Amino acid sequence: MKNKPFLLVANWKMNPLTLKEADRIIKSLEKGIRAMNKKDFFQKIDLVVCPPSVFLGRLPNSSGFNWGIQNIHWETRGAFTGELSVKMAEDARCQYAIVGHSERRKFFGEKDQGVNQKILSVLGGNLNPILCIGETKEEREQNKTNDVVKNQIYQALQNVSALNLPRIAIAYEPVWAISNMSNPAIQSSNNTYLNTADSPDDVMGVTILIRKILSQMYRSDITKKTKILYGGSVSQRNIDGFLDTDILDGLLIGGASLSMFEFLPIIKSCYENRSK
Ligand code: PGA
């Protein structure tokens, strides 16, 4: 039995399109968890749902799981059209904030410096940051994964005190492995997803590297308390490979978290792995 709860983050991205549909997903999620009938479920699994911001605070407030915001601004308030502050996310019942997701970096030009400002702002409030890092396909092909990961962590955590490390989760999400499941061209005929995620062995290697980078940066045992997650096309088909590594503290799940056909078996596997 493992003593830390497993951090399972459901990143809904820009889905679903209506509050009614979001409500339906939350209710089937709650029902599925209830049906598992495990009294210690929420001691073993720290489940964080990150819906689109307009739905935050308007969905059933399930006793048990937590809410996260998919993006946050670094300033506390003011003339920043379209942005949301840490206090606003807290007021909408969030405990977590995703920072530096590769889709933000790719489509909205987020840079490491801005990621660092967001991390500092989140830590200045009461939210826990989930920092996303990972290399592109080209970088992987050029064997630059280690350099990219190291650089992103160093920049994102500038001026972050060691005392805050237990609040931080680092999600390793290779860019090329993300959102492959929502691409119909690579879905298999029986509606389960083809394995387009990174391999558990490679993820294990990068997880060890992240631990090493943290201990070089902070030279303290407290770095062990930072959670390390994997994300990128995790499905019920490939989940066991990641859990079997026994090295991850959690998973960040996009596409599969919107389908209870996918997500409930994933949750169940995580619970069982945590109960071993
Ligand atoms: P995915 O997304 O599971 O759909 O690949 C993961 C993420 O980007 O958060």
pLDDT tens, 148-168?
A: 999 999 999 999 999 999 999
Q: Is residue 30 part of a domain?
A: yes
Could you give the number of structural domains in the chain? 1
pTM: 0.94
Which domain range does residue 80 map to?
Answer: 6-274
Least confident range from 60-69, 158-167, 224-233: namely 60-69
Q: Is residue 222 part of a domain?
A: yes
State how far the Cα of 99 lies from the Cα of 111, in Å rounded to an integer.
Answer: 11
Residue 73 designated active-site: no
Which pLDDT band holds residue 71 (cuts at 50, 70, 90)? very high
The binding-site residues of ligand 1, defined as CB within 6 angstroms of any ligand atom, are 11, 173, 178-179, 181-182, 231-234, 252-256
Q: Is residue 1 part of a domain?
A: no
Encode burial over 60-95: b for 16+ CB neighbours within 10 A, e otherwise: eebeebbbbbbbbbbeeeeeeeeebbbebbeebebb
Q: Is residue 201 part of a domain?
A: yes
Nearest to 98 by CA among 128, 138, 65, 142: 128
**Contact present, 173 and 231 (Cβ < 8 Å):** yes
State how far the Cα of 59 lies from the Cα of 40, in Å rounded to an integer.
Answer: 24
Q: Is residue 97 part of a domain?
A: yes
Nearest to 26 by CA among 68, 65, 69: 65
Matching residue, tokens 């631990």 = 211
- Does pLDDT of 113 surpass 70? yes
Ligand 1 atom at minimal distance to the Cα of residue 255: 4
Six-digit token pair at 238? 């490939």
**CATH number of the CATH domain containing 66:** 3.20.20.70
Q: Is residue 210 part of a domain?
A: yes
**Among protein residues, the one whose CA lies closest to atom 1 of ligand 1:** 254
Q: Is residue 14 part of a domain?
A: yes
Looking at 51-127, which runs of residues are DSSP E strands? 66-69, 94-99
Q: Is residue 89 part of a domain?
A: yes
Q: How far, in Å, is the centroid of ligand 1 from the Cα of 79?
A: 31
